[in-house]
Amino acid sequence: MTIRFAVVALLFALASLPVRAEWRDRTEAIMGTRIYVEVWSDDAAKGDEANEAVMAEMRRIDDLMSHYKPESQLSQINARAAQEPVQVDPELFDLIKLSTHYSVITEGAFDITYASVGHLYDYPHHVKPTEEQIKAALPGVNWRNMLLDPVHHTVRFERPGMRIDLGGIGKGYAVDRGIAILQARGFKHALVTAGGDSRIIGDRMGRPWVVGIRNPDDKNKVVTRIPIVNSAMSTSGDYERYFDEGGVRYHHIIDPRTGHSASKVRSATILGPTATETDGMSKTAFVLGPEKALEIINRMPQYDAIFVTPEGKILYSNGLAPPPPPKEAAAPRKH
């Protein structure tokens, strides 16, 4: 074999090898939480570039919608909407409008005006409102008192003292935006996570992704594992932002009807098509508790739910419920 022929043969052999694809990932702290992106890419640089684009999108959304940043448009609403209509970007307007859809289907268990009382809690500093403060703030909690003008994209509060925050849906929305960016770049297998909200496209090497639901009392233990493909998942738990006092856990998921932390479950997980939906629904499931929430979720085939109760029991919606144990008659007969 001549050298020349050998080189040509080698080049052909190399060209026919499958392209070496690999998982590229990136982690950052944005929106006060851990953002994680993982993408299956046959070009490392393109994968890294896409992951950076997802992070840039997260930062953009945070700048627009954070209630912690005084210059955000959302903070402008909180500062001025009780006095005058406040105009915002259509994107923010649409998400606020969408949040009212969840208020309707959950009979008010999800309500971004919960913040009228929610802002009185400061978990890292163990601050909670008195009963008098809650009573005074509660009339501000009612999404119906938020006037949304779809023509001018303005938001107006009908009552003084009203506030909103999108902490209950914004991360899910950001995850969906991240997935849209990856899809637009042609990626078929990816995971985007923002705190308790994740969405997955495709599978993982021909198998489902397996996600764990954590033990509410031990972040290193899982109570169950769920295989998922092409799906979003959000968990709301009483262990994320909280403090304990006098045997009571004060945490960041607030029942809009009472102004107190909801206590029917330790965690509520929702599976569904998009993270915006599952994020909105997970607070709802948490506030309503398994009985009422399962009634709603079992009527909506696109969602599934998993609850961890205060006693440590795990409850599933119909779509996930383990099959019933085999009947007696099916037991092997003794000869």
Q: Which positions touch ligand ADP (CB under 6 A)?
A: 33, 110-112, 114, 165, 167-168, 171, 195-197, 234, 236, 240, 252-254, 256, 279, 282-283, 287
Our finding on whether 279 is near Mg ion (CB under 5 A) is yes
Q: How far apart are the first and last CA of the chain?
A: 73
Taking CB under 5 A as the rule, does residue 62 contact Mg ion? Answer: no
Smallest separation (angstroms) from Mg ion to the CB of 180: 18
Please give the helix or strand (H or E) that residue 37 lies within, else none. strand 33-41
Q: Which does 256 bind (CB under 5 to 8 A by kind): Mg ion, ligand ADP, none?
A: ligand ADP
Distance of closest approach, residue 331 Cβ to ligand ADP, in angstroms: 44
The correct pick among 196, 256, 259, 280 for binding Mg ion (CB under 5 A) is: 196
Instruction: Give the nearer residue to ligand ADP in terms of CB position, either 81 or 112.
Output: 112
CA distance 197 to 235: 7
* Residues contacting 222, CB < 8 A, separation 6+: 212, 213, 214, 215
Of residues 214, 182, 229, the one with CA closest to residue 55:
182
The least distance separating Mg ion from the CB of residue 80, rounded to whole angstroms, comes to 27
Alpha-carbon gap, residue 254 to 70, rounded angstroms? 23
Residue 94's contacts (CB-CB under 8 Å, 6 or more residues apart) are none
Q: How many CA atoms lie within 13 A of 286 on its CB side?
A: 30
CB of 221 to ligand ADP, least distance (A): 19
Q: How far is the C-alpha of 261 from the C-alpha of 240, rounded, in Å?
A: 13
Q: Does 171 bind Mg ion (CB under 5 A)?
A: yes
Selected range binding Mg ion among 69-77, 100-108, 247-255, 278-286, rule: CB under 5 A? 278-286
CB of 321 to ligand ADP, least distance (A): 24
Q: Residue by residue, what is the 3-state secondary structure of 126-151?
A: CECCCHHHHHHHHHHCCHHHEEEECC
Toward ligand ADP, which CB reaches closer, 41 or 234? 234
Span interacting with Mg ion, options 1-9, 94-102, 129-137, 191-199, rule CB under 5 A? 191-199
Task: Please report how close the Cβ of residue 128 comes to ligand ADP at its closest, in angstroms.
Answer: 14
Min. distance of Cβ 287 from ligand ADP in angstroms?
5
The Cα angle at residue 46 between residues 41 and 51, in degrees rounded to 5: 85
Place of tokens 């770049």: 185
| Interaction partner, residue 112 (ligand ADP, Mg ion, none; CB < 5-8 Å by kind) | ligand ADP
Closest of 135, 140, 122 to residue 258, by C-alpha = 135
What does 111 bind: ligand ADP, Mg ion, none (CB cut-off 5 to 8 Å by kind)? ligand ADP
Residue 19: other Cβ atoms inside 10 A: 6
Between residues 38 and 238, which has the closer beta carbon with respect to ligand ADP?
238
Nearer to ligand ADP, 195 or 289 (CB): 195
Residue 240: which of 121, 100, 129 has the closest Cα?
A: 121
Residue 165 makes contact with Mg ion by CB under 5 A:
no
User: Residue 176: which of Mg ion, ligand ADP, none does it interact with, CB under 5 to 8 A by kind?
Assistant: none
Question: What is the smallest separation between the CB atom of 99 and ligand ADP, expressed in angstroms?
Answer: 7
| Distances from the Cα of 62 to the Cα of 72, 92, 110, 112, angstroms | 8, 11, 21, 16
Question: Which stretches of the chain bind Mg ion, using CB under 5 A?
Answer: 171, 196-197, 279
